[in-house]
Structure 1
C-alpha cells in the first residue's frame, strides 16, 4: 500500500493540530443558533443543574452516563464566570470537542494505516457526516463526548498505554454505555496480539477502567445519591425491552439514517466494510483491532438504534476505512498521480463539508428563546413551571423543575412503576399536589397519565416549536389571554 510518509516528528504533532483547526472553522460556519430539541435540552438542563452543584441523575433523571450532564455542566459553570449564556457556553465547548474528535481521527488513521495521507483524508471524510456536523455546533449531545473518549481509548491501546486506555474506555462508557463493547473488542485484539506480557496488559487496561468507575461510585456514595445513579445508569436500561432495530424495522431504520446522514451514509457503510476487508488482507494488529471494534459496534447498533446519533460510535471507524480504501485504490497508480488523487479527495471532502455547514444553518433557537421569554413574562410573576418531556423549555428559561423527573418514555415509566413508591400514578398525584402554574408538554409526548389533570385544571395556551404550553385555570382568564397573545406573537401568529 503506497503512502505519503511522515517527514519528521514535527508533522506528527502539527498535522492533527491543523486538522482540528480546519474542523473548528467548518463547524463554526454552521452557527450555534439551531433548535434546542428535547434530547439537547436534556443535556443543557442537566448541565445547568451540575453547574449549580446538583449531581447528574439528581438534577434530571436520565438513562445515559453521568458525564453526559457533567461535561456541559463544566462549560456552563465556566461560561457563567464570564457572563456567557448556558446554551452558548455548552455549544462552544462541544464545538471544540468535535474539532478534537477530528484531530484524533487523524491520529487514529495515521497509526492504523501508517500513512500521513490517511491522517488527512480520514478526518476530511469524517467532516462530511451531517449529523455529527450539526451537533458539533448545535449540541450538546452526549455521544460527541463518547466519540472523543472512544478515539482516545483506541489510540492509547494501539500504543500500548493500557492503564490510560482503560481510563478512556471507562470515561466513554460513563458518557454512553453501549460504547463499552466497541472499546473492549478493540483492546482485546491488541492484547491478544502481544508476543508476551498479555496478562499484564489486560490487567492494566482493566485496572484503569475499574479505578475510574470506582472513583465515580465513591463520589455518588459520598453525596448519598448512589442508588439514584445506579437506577439511571443501569436499571432503567435493563427495563427497556422495546428497542427498535434494523431487524424489527429495516425500512424505518434506513429512513432514519438517510435523514441524518443523507448520501454520506453510503460512505459510512463503505468505510465499515473496508475496515474489515483491509484487516483480513493486511492482518496488522491495529487493523484487526479496528475490525473487531467495527463488528462489535455494528452488531450493537443493528440491534438497538433509536436515532441517527446512535451511529456515532461507528463514524470514526468508517472514516478510517474510507481512507484505507482510498490508499488501496492508489496503490497501482504512479506516485504523483496517487498524491494528486488523495489530495483532491481530501480537499473535495472539506469543501463539501463547508458547503453543508453554511447551507444548513438555522436560527430557530431565537424563536424558541422568544416564545419561552414571552409566555413566562405574560404569566403570573411567581409562576412555577413543570416539564413533561420538554426539558428544553426549562433550560432556556433557566428554571428548575419541581422534581428530578421529566422524561417518561415506556422504559422510564416501567422503571418508575417498579422502583418508585406509588409508581407513575403516585407521580401524577404529586404533580396534582404541586399544582404548577405552567405545565409544558413535549409535542410528541402521547402517554395518557397527565391528560385528566390537564383537562380538569389547565387550559392550553399554545404551541412552541416542539412543546405545548398549559396554564393553570387558577391563574385567571386575564393571564390566559395574555399568555396566548404572547405565544402567538412569538410564534408569528
Structure 2
C-alpha cells in the first residue's frame, strides 16, 4: 500500500486499483449482513413511497413525508428495475430496493476512498477512510436493511465533499442540492465545507466565483425538481412536505436533549463503532485546525483538509441543534471516515517507510475484519416470517378487503396496496398539522375512518393515536402485535376468519 502523492494531472490518468478492490470488499461485508432485516415503520414508509413512485405517483402525493422527494424516488427506481426483472410481490419489491441501496453503499465506499485519498494526497488515508466506513454499524445496517434516505444522502454527501476537494464548485452545488432533496439537514454540513474551501481561494474574486458556481449548480438542480412538480401538478404538495411543514410544524430534538432522553438508542444503532465515529469526527476537526494554523493556500491538500474540517465542525454544531435519532448522524459518516483516514496517514507518515505501511495495513485489516464480524453478528433474518404474517393476513381477508395504515405501512408494502389516506406519520408536530389541515381536524379524520370502515387497520403504537380509539373500540377486534405492527380487523368479519387471523398474528415468531 504505497503512500505517494500523485500530481493533479496524473491522478486520474488510470484507474486506481484500490477503488474497485475496496468496493469488492464492501460487497462481501454487506452480503454478510444480508437482506433479511425486519421492516420497521420508517423503512416501510420509504418502501411504500418507492412503490408508489414506481407506479407513476409523484412523491408526497400518495403519502406525506417530511424528507425530500429523492427519498421516495431512489427506492422507486429499485422497485421499477426489480419489476422489470420479474419481481412479482411486495416482498420482491423490497429486496430489489435493498439491492439498490447496497449498490449505492458500495459506490459510497469507493467515493470516500477517492475523497480522502485526494484530500490528504495519500492512498493510505483513502484506504483507511474506506475501511473505517465499513466498520460503522449504522452504515452497514442501512446498506442492506433499508430502504432509508440516509443511504442516498451519505453517498451524495461524499460526492459533494469530493467535489470540494477538487474545487469543482458547480458539481459540489449539484451534489449538495441532490443531497438536500433527499434529506434537508445535510445542506448545512455540505455548505460548511464549501464555504471553508471557497474562502481559502486566493483573492476576493476567486471566492466570489467559487460561491457563485456553487449556488448556480444547486439552484439549477433544485429548479429541475420544481419544474417536475409543476408538470405533474403537485407543486403545493412538494412545497408543503419539503419546506412548509418542516418550517412551521416539525418539532426537533437537539443532541444533548436526545442523549438525555434516549441515552441507549445511539449505542444500539452504532454499537462499538460509535467510539470510532467520534474519534474520526474529532480528528477531522483537529486536522483541519492544524492545517489552518500553518496554511499555504497554494497547497491543495492543506486547503482540502481545512474544508473538510470546516464541514465537520458545522455538522457537529447542527447536530447539537437538531438530532432525532442515531440515523441522523449517518450524513456525517464520510467526514468521520476521512478524519480516521487522515489520522492513520499522519501516524504512518511519521514512521519509517516500511513501518508506516505496516501500521496502515494493520489498521485497514483490523477495521475491515471487525466490520465483517459486526455485520455477521448483527445480521437479522426476521423479514421472511414478517412477510409471511402479512401475506397470510391479507390472504384470509381476501383481495376485496381494504387496509389502512396509521404509522405502520408494512402491509401496504408486502401487499402492494394503497393507503386510503396519505397520512402515515403523526409524530414530531404532524399531529398538529393533520388537526389543522384535515376537514374537521383529527375528529373529522376519525369520523371518515368510521364511515369508510377499512377491513384492516394497522398501527405501530396504538396509544399514540387517541383520536381513532373510539372507532376501534366500537367497530374493531384487536388481533395482537407482530414485529411492530398492531392489527385490528372489522368486527363484522365472520368467526372462522377471525379465529384464523388470531392464530396467524398470535403465533410465535423468531425474536
Same fold (TM over 0.5): yes
Tell whether the 8 Å contact from 2:478 to 2:489 is kept in structure 1 after alignment. Answer: yes
Q: Deviations over 1:436-467 (max 9, x none)?
A: 00111114652211101100110111221111
How many Å separate the matches in 1 of 2:289 and 2:456? 60
Aligned partner of 1:201 in structure 2 is 210
Aligned partner of 1:82 in structure 2 is 85
How many Å separate the matches in 2 of 1:331 and 1:291? 20
Shift of 1:323: 1.6
Which deviates further from its counterpart, 235-244 or 285-294? 235-244
1:348/1:34 CA distance change after superposition, 3 Å: same
SS where residue 257 of structure 2 aligns? coil
Tell whether the 8 Å contact from 1:367 to 1:490 is kept in structure 2 after alignment. Answer: no
Aligned partner of 1:127 in structure 2 is 134
Tell whether the 8 Å contact from 2:32 to 2:376 is kept in structure 1 after alignment. Answer: yes
Which deviates further from its counterpart, 153-162 or 136-145? 153-162
Q: Deviations over 1:190-215 (max 9, x none)?
A: 21111243222221111111111111
Q: Deviations over 1:114-149 (max 9, x none)?
A: 111111110111110111111101111101101111
Aligned partner of 1:167 in structure 2 is 174
Tell whether the 8 Å contact from 2:59 to 2:69 is kept in structure 1 after alignment. Answer: yes
Shift of 1:157: 2.3
Of the three residues 246, 249, 254, the one matched with 2:255 is: 246
**1:78-477 equivalences in 2 (<5 Å):** 78-84=81-87, 85-196=92-203, 197-240=206-249, 242-283=251-292, 284-443=302-461, 446-477=464-495
Q: Deviations over 1:369-393 (max 9, x none)?
A: 1110111112244211000100122
1:282/1:311 CA distance change after superposition, 3 Å: same
1:21 aligns with 2:24: yes
Aligned partner of 2:298 in structure 1 is none
Tell whether the 8 Å contact from 2:255 to 2:324 is kept in structure 1 after alignment. Answer: no
Tell whether the 8 Å contact from 1:6 to 1:116 is kept in structure 2 after alignment. Answer: no
Shift of 1:302: 2.1
Which deviates further from its counterpart, 245-254 or 92-101? 245-254
Using structure 2 for the length normalisation, give the TM-score.
0.92
Aligned partner of 2:299 in structure 1 is none
SS where residue 492 of structure 2 aligns? helix
Gaps of 5+ in 2: 293-301
Q: Deviations over 1:22-73 (max 9, x none)?
A: 1112111111011011111011110000000011111211000000000000
How many Å separate the matches in 1 of 2:250 and 2:58? 27
RMSD: 1.9
Of the three residues 32, 47, 50, the one matched with 1:47 is: 50
Tell whether the 8 Å contact from 1:371 to 1:491 is kept in structure 2 after alignment. Answer: no
Q: Deviations over 1:206-257 (max 9, x none)?
A: 1111111111111112212111111111122123454222332433454222
SS where residue 479 of structure 2 aligns? strand
Of the three residues 67, 88, 91, the one matched with 1:64 is: 67
Tell whether the 8 Å contact from 1:380 to 1:479 is kept in structure 2 after alignment. Answer: no
SS where residue 333 of structure 1 aligns? coil
How many Å separate the matches in 1 of 2:150 and 2:463? 23
How many Å separate the matches in 2 of 1:64 and 1:271? 27
Aligned partner of 2:297 in structure 1 is none
Shift of 1:332: 3.0
Shift of 1:399: 1.1
How many Å separate the matches in 2 of 1:309 and 1:82? 31
SS where residue 466 of structure 2 aligns? coil
1:249/1:410 CA distance change after superposition, 3 Å: closer
Aligned partner of 1:488 in structure 2 is 506
Which deviates further from its counterpart, 124-133 or 474-483? 474-483
1:161/1:5 CA distance change after superposition, 3 Å: closer
1:304/1:343 CA distance change after superposition, 3 Å: same
Which deviates further from its counterpart, 374-383 or 457-466? 374-383
Using structure 1 for the length normalisation, give the TM-score.
0.96
How many Å separate the matches in 2 of 1:216 and 1:349? 40
Tell whether the 8 Å contact from 1:47 to 1:72 is kept in structure 2 after alignment. Answer: yes
How many Å separate the matches in 1 of 2:104 and 2:272? 25
